[in-house]
Structure formats: structure tokens, C-alpha cells
Amino acid sequence: MDGTYDAQAGTRFPTTKWREGYDVASVDEFVARAERAVSFRDGSVRSEDVEQVRFAPVRWRTGYDMDAVDTHLEQLASQLKGIES
């Protein structure tokens, strides 16, 4: 992931199976809602929501790399703060 945000292209995160990761479905659902909130500036997801979200950890099945997801969430929270101000 190159650190850029592109709501049209969507976001892909590296996956992990042998170490702890985030539940894919939960992350996909929340990130999609947060990205729509950034794109449409509709306030449906606030920066506080992004900062406080917690995902169920998974092991021994495919999950998203935690650091990659956390980095993207930080970027989304920053973008939402800019919209909110």
C-alpha cells in the first residue's frame, strides 16, 4: 500500500494467516462506510468513530495486516477531521 487514498479504487490491505490479523468482513464494512463519508462529506462516520473502532482479531485464518489497517484508519480520521472543521 502506498499510503494514498483513492475512494474510487477502493483499498486493499495485505493479509496474514499465521499471525494475528483483523477480521476481513468487519474491516471491509467499516472502511467502506468511512470512505463513503469522506467522499460524500455526509457526516455518517465521524473522525471519533474511526479513532475508536475496534476489530475482532483472527488467527489461523486469513485476516488483514493490523498495521496496514491502522495506518489507513489514521489517514481516514485525519481526512474526516479536515471535513469536520
pTM of the model: 0.83
Taking alpha carbons only, the member of 67, 10, 14 closest to residue 35 is: 10
* Count of the separate structural domains present in the chain: 1
Q: Which domain holds residue 49?
A: 23-84
Q: What is the pLDDT of residues 48-84, one digit of tens each?
A: 999 999 999 999 999 999 999 999 999 999 999 999 9
Q: What is the Cα–Cα distance from 24 to 56, expressed in whole angstroms?
A: 9
In a domain, 6, yes or no: no
Residue 3 lies in a domain: no
Helix (H) or strand (E) holding 16: strand 15-16
C-alpha cell at 46: 465521524
